Amino acid sequence: MTTTKTDTSAAEAQELEAADDGYVTVPLAGYDGVTKDVRTLPATRWRASAMRALRSGDVDGFMERVLHEDDYETYEDLDPDQEGIGHFAERAAEAAGESLGKSSGPSRSSRNTRKR
């Protein structure tokens, strides 16, 4: 069986490389309207420590835990606002096939549990 070599753009090659090490590429918008792609862990792989940092308002600590180490400086240079961070998180969730909304929670039982 013969294989054919396909031409890949630099962006595609970068995306493939990022996917190989568990990271996905998502856009991050900076405060001045500049948007750059950064590599992040998919939202389903964010550790509890990263989520604690985010909930406590430590955005830098959160980004340090979820971004690829080579892209943290890009994050610092972009200096995104909260809206940019929100869009980043949404894209990371989409890349993992998830949504970031609140879960609907367990469904109510159709069975009456009241004691008689």
Does any domain span residue 8?
no
Q: For the segment 14-64, what is each residue's pLDDT rounded down to a tens digit?
A: 554 545 589 999 999 998 889 999 999 999 999 999 999 999 999 999 999
Does any domain span residue 64?
yes
Give pTM, 2 decimals.
0.67
Tell me 43's DSSP state: G
Does any domain span residue 58?
yes
Tell me 35's DSSP state: E
Taking the alpha carbons of 85, 87, 92, 96 in that order, is the dihedral positive or negative?
A: positive
> Chain-centre distance of CA 23, in angstroms?
9
Does any domain span residue 26?
yes
What total of structural domains would you count in the chain? 1
Does any domain span residue 36?
yes
Does any domain span residue 106?
no
CA distance 79 to 76: 5
Domain that holds residue 50: 13-95
CA distance 43 to 104: 18
